[in-house]
Amino acid sequence: MAEVQSGVTSKKIHPDAYGALIEALTTINWNKLAYQQDVRRRLREYPELLTRLDFTTTKRETSAQLVNMLMAEEKRYRDLTIELMTDISRLDSFPNLVKQVDADDLLAQARAAVTNLEKWVGRHAAIAEEREKFAAELAAHRENINRTRDFTEVLSELRQEFFRLHGMTNRQQAGREFETFQHRLFTLFDLEPTLAYNLKGEQINGSIYHDTNHYVVEAKWLASAVEAEHMTNFDGKVKRKGKNALGLFVSVNGFSEGGRDIFKRSTSFITMDGADLFCVLDGRIRLDALIARKLEHASRTGDCFFPAAAMHL
C-alpha cells in the first residue's frame, strides 16, 4: 500500500500570521478555565504539545508558548497550524465572552482578532487548500488501514507498550510516555480523553467521558502504592468540581490499605490499578465495562475500590 506523505507544501507561514494566531487564541475566551479547555480540545490529538504547555501563566504567555512550538517545528505542525488558524477565523460566536460584565469591549477585541486572522488565512489559501486535499487522502488511507488493523490488534499493541513501560529504568521518561499510552487506551474505547502531564510527581490530570458522565482523571505510576494523603487530596479536587462530579484515580502500583479504608463507605471517585489495566489489555473485560461496574459498585456501597479480580470475569 502506498504511503500518504505528510506535510502539504514547502511554503512557509508568515511570522505575522503566527502573531495573529496568538492574539486570537488569547482573546476568544476571557476566563482561564474556558481558555484552557478550548486549547486542550484543539490539541487533544497532540499530547506531546499539551505536556509542554504551562497553563499557570497568563493566557497570552501560554498562547505564545504554543505558537513558538508550532513555529520551531513548522514542517511537522504546519497542518495543525493551518487548522487552528482556519477554525478560529470562522468563529462567529464567543459564549465565554458574552457572560462577562464588559462583554461589548471583549467581543469587539475578539472579532477584530478573528478578522485579522481571517486575512492571513486568505493569504495562505494555497496551504489551506492543499491541507484539505491531504486530509482527504489521509482519511482514505486510514480507512484502508482500519480494514486490516482491528480493535484487537490495537489492544495487543497497547499491552506490549504497557510491558515496555513497566520495564523502563528511566521512570520519569516512563511517566511521560504513560500519558500517551493512556490517551491511546481511552481513545480506543471512545472515552474522549483530555489529558495533561505534570512532570512533578509524574501525575496526569485530565478528564474522560463515559455513558454521559464526566470523570476527572488523575494517574500516578509511583514506586509504591498511593497513600491516603493523595486520595484525600483527589477527593477534594473532585468535590470542588461540583456535587455531581465523578473521579477516576489510576495508580499502576495500587492504593494503600489505609487509603482504601477512608473511602470504603463514601467516595467521590473510583479507582483503577495495574492489575485492572492488565485485565483490559488482556481482553478479559472492556475498559468501558470495567468503569461502569466500578461506578455501580461505588454507587451501591460507597466503596472506591472494586478490582477486576473480584468481578469473577
In 3D, which of 3, 37, 9 has the Cα closest to residue 205?
37
pTM of the predicted model as reported, rounded to 2 decimal places: 0.53
Average pLDDT over residues 74-91: 89
Nearest to 86 by CA among 42, 46, 142: 42
Task: Find where cell 470475569 sits.
Answer: 313
- How far, in Å, are 40, 53, 289 from residue 195 at the CA level? 8, 12, 21
Taking Cα atoms as reference points, which of 294, 32, 41 lies closest to residue 192?
A: 41
Is the predicted pLDDT of residue 97 greater than 80, yes or no? yes
Tens-digit pLDDT profile for residues 48-61: 898 899 988 889 99
Q: Which three cell numbers stand for residue 312?
A: 469473577
> Please, what is the end-to-end C-alpha distance for the chain in angstroms?
40
The span from the CA of 267 to the CA of 171, in Å, is 30
pLDDT at 146: 52
User: If you count DSSP H runs as helices and E runs as strands, how many of each does the chain have, helices first?
Assistant: 14, 5
- The answer to whether residue 205 scores a pLDDT higher than 80 is no
Distances (CA, A) of 93 to 24, 90, 258: 13, 9, 50
Closest-CA residue to 290 (of 268, 267, 313): 313
- Exposure class string for 58-89: b at 16+ Cβ within 10 A, else e: ebeebbbbbbebbeeeeeebbbbbbbbbbebb
> Does residue 234 have a pLDDT over 70?
yes
Label residue 130 by pLDDT band (50, 70, 90). Answer: low
Question: Which pLDDT does position 127 carry in this prediction?
Answer: 55
d(CA 185, CA 24): 33
Whether 197 shows a pLDDT value over 50: the answer reads no
Residue 24, pLDDT > 90, answer yes
pLDDT score at 129: 58
| Whole-Å CA distances, 15 to 8, 254, 297 | 18, 49, 55
Q: Is the pLDDT of residue 1 over 50?
A: no
Residue 191's nearest CA partner among 80, 51, 291 is 291
3-state secondary structure 58-120: CHHHHHHHHHHHHHHCHHHHHHHHHHHHHHHHCCCCCHHHHCCCCHHHHHHHHHHHHHHHHHH
